[in-house]
Chain A
Amino acid sequence: MTLRRKLEEKFFHALSALFALFIVFVLVHIIWSIFQKGISALSWQMVSQEPKGGFYLGKEGGILNAIAGSFYLAIASTILAFIISLPVALFMNIYLIKYKRTLTGIRFFLDVLWGVPSIVYGAFGFVILIYLGMKTSLGAGIITVAVMIAPIMIRAMDEVLKTIPIGLQEAAYALGSTKTETAYKIFFRQALPGFATAVLLAFGRGIGDAASVLFTTGFTDYVPQKLSDPAATLPLSIFFQLGSPYDEVQSRAYASAIILIFIVLVISISARLLSGAGKSRK
């Protein structure tokens, strides 16, 4: 190798390593500063109690309302989005497989939807809500978030299904399978480990988003009992606590952030383990 090529190799190697380290540093720094500011406020009371009167002024209580609300909202909307996304993704890759242009169009359309800011979904949900004469409620939030995360889930599933070789499809048809059988008995199983990632991605966006639920789910100090109740969510709870001038409440906001990160982490790891188990069974 000439000296120039050697230097070039060294330079780009160092550059990649540097930026990779930088990203890791940013991530660690975010987590570190949240922990530093929030760990002192983290207590059993935080996760087990609803806010009492004056909670946002530094008095007694916890954020059980937001934890429960976020869980209900994210889980229900992920399930709803899954029910919508699975047939769409399979439809695209089984029925539309020969219409390449149509597929390209649909994928572009979904990518645009993926990129739409969540406040737009929130505003859209709000308009529908008013039109139907409904109040802000857990149910409205679930629908709004499901609509928001469905394009993400469809595209993520689509990417998984795209990797299934045409040979498997041919093999299925050669055995006399109908398209529906090919879709739900063969493609679904083949893609199942990858679907875990798709669901996780959508869940992560759903639980962490504040703007889409701002107008649709509202906020409340109570754990929602039914779909028509308003519900609190962790991102909004963090937002309201951070806005407080009291140091105590602000550190509780960081504690809430720790809880949110913890939930996302647990879900991520368990989804990885689940899909890993699926793969090793192969």
Chain B
Amino acid sequence: MVTTFNKEAGDTVQVTVPVNPPIINISNLNVFSKKEHILKNINIGIPKNKITVLLGPSGCGKTTLLKCLNRLTDLHSDLRLEGSIEIDGDDILHTKKDITQIRQKMGLLLQRPYPLPMSIYDNIAYGLKIKGITNKKIVGEKVEKHLKEVALWDEVKDRLKSSAQSLSIGQQQRLCLARGLAVEPEIILADEPTSALDPISSRVIEEEFLQLKDHYTLILVTHILRQAKRIADYVIFMYYGEIVEHGNAAEIFDNPQTTILKEYLRLGH
């Protein structure tokens, strides 16, 4: 399947849609704030079990798009959403289903870690408890499993009861990832998750992502071009609230079509 659209006069873009079927289908999504038209007519499918990278300069609407996906936009009264976002066939913008259940389908990593004000153990157990899982044995097993999944278990197994804030910031971010995984999401949303981390911790998170894509769909917002090149399977390039180009990573990076993307890749920011 080939989609064609015109971006600027003379710029015709041809993009092949990835092999995996989309898990999220966004159609005609428009987001307005009081003063601005933040997202303009977004139509895109997010492929399942791939790492999709939302790439673009600051202020282009990447984060807003990400937060639409689990309706964290609800926190802002001045944002108005139009269009539809289908996840598993459910239009989450108009569904009557419980929003908390929809959000549990998605883990979230933010620009810096926000551990819950409780122990390392409870940070992971919290999501399970509010889901209704209270059996201590099961909770304990899951805590261990997910801490191992993010390679944090060996570092914290002797101090599970100490506060999550006593961890280093890189460890905290991995804890936040484990906490998200514990509620068994299908999708992981990450908003520049390495921007507060040192290069080594950043690489650890990237490695995690590469391993997680076998079981999860990952959507990563970043403005670090090298990071995108390292881990992206599928790239959506945004500029001023619009999707300018999208396609498999190799096509986007090796054969950009629009002048904006070419310029962006050349400057490498």
Interface residues of A (CB under 8 A from B): 97-100, 165-178, 181, 185-186, 189-190, 192, 281-282
Contact = CB atoms under 8 A, between A and B. Distances in A.
Contact residue range for chain B?
Answer: 20 to 34
Given A98-B76, A174-B180, 4 more contacts: A97-B75, A99-B77, A174-B103, A175-B130
The prevalent SS among residues of B at the interface is: mixed
A175 B117 contact: no
27 contacts: A97-B75, A98-B74, A98-B77, A100-B77, A165-B114, A167-B114, A171-B108, A171-B110, A171-B116, A171-B176, A173-B100, A174-B72, A174-B106, A174-B108, A174-B180, A175-B103, A175-B183, A176-B104, A176-B183, A177-B130, A178-B130, A186-B117, A189-B117, A190-B117, A192-B117, A282-B165, A282-B166
A51 to B, nearest CB: 49
Q: Which 10 A-B pairs have the closest CB atoms?
A: A174-B108, A98-B77, A176-B104, A190-B117, A189-B117, A282-B165, A175-B127, A176-B100, A168-B114, A167-B114
Contacts of A181: 130
A177 B116 CA distance: 12
B64 interface: no
Interface in B114-150: 114, 116-118, 126-127, 130-131
Given A98-B75, A170-B72, A185-B126, A175 B110 contact: no
B114 to A, nearest CB: 4
A174 B182 CA distance: 12
Contact of A173 (B103, B116, B131, B176): B103
Interface of B: 67, 70, 72, 74-78, 100-101, 103-104, 106-108, 110-112, 114, 116-118, 126-127, 130-131, 163, 165-166, 176, 179-180, 183, 189
B75 A176 contact: no
Given A175-B180, A185-B126, A186-B117, A170 B110 contact: yes
Nearest to B102: A176
A178 B165 CA distance: 23
Nearest to B131: A176
A171 B100 CA distance: 12
B72 A173 contact: yes
Contacts of A176: 100-101, 103-104, 127, 130-131, 183
Nearest to A179: B100
Most chain A C-beta atoms within 10 Å of own C-beta, residue among B76, B117, B118, B163: B117
A175 B76 contact: no
A169 B72 CA distance: 10
Contacts of B176: 171
Contacts of A178: 100, 130
Contacts of A165: 114
Contacts of A97: 75
B163 A281 contact: yes
Nearest to B176: A171
Contacts of B75: 97-98, 166, 169-170, 173
Given A173-B103, A176-B183, A167 B166 contact: no
A137 B118 CA distance: 43
Contact of B116 (A99, A166, A186): A186
Given A170-B75, A281-B163, A175 B114 contact: no
Contacts of A99: 77
Contacts of A173: 70, 72, 75, 100, 103
Contacts of A100: 77
A177 B180 CA distance: 12
B75 to A, nearest CB: 6
Contact of A175 (B78, B112, B179): B179
Contacts of B117: 186, 189-190, 192, 282
B175 to A, nearest CB: 11
A182 B62 CA distance: 26
A175 to B, nearest CB: 4
A164 to B, nearest CB: 9
A170 B66 CA distance: 12
Contacts of B116: 168, 171-172, 186, 189
A99 B75 CA distance: 9
Nearest to B72: A170
B130 A174 contact: no
A211 B114 CA distance: 46
Contacts of A171: 108, 110, 114, 116, 176
Given A98-B75, A175-B103, A176-B183, A170 B108 contact: yes
Nearest to A96: B77
Contacts of B127: 175-176
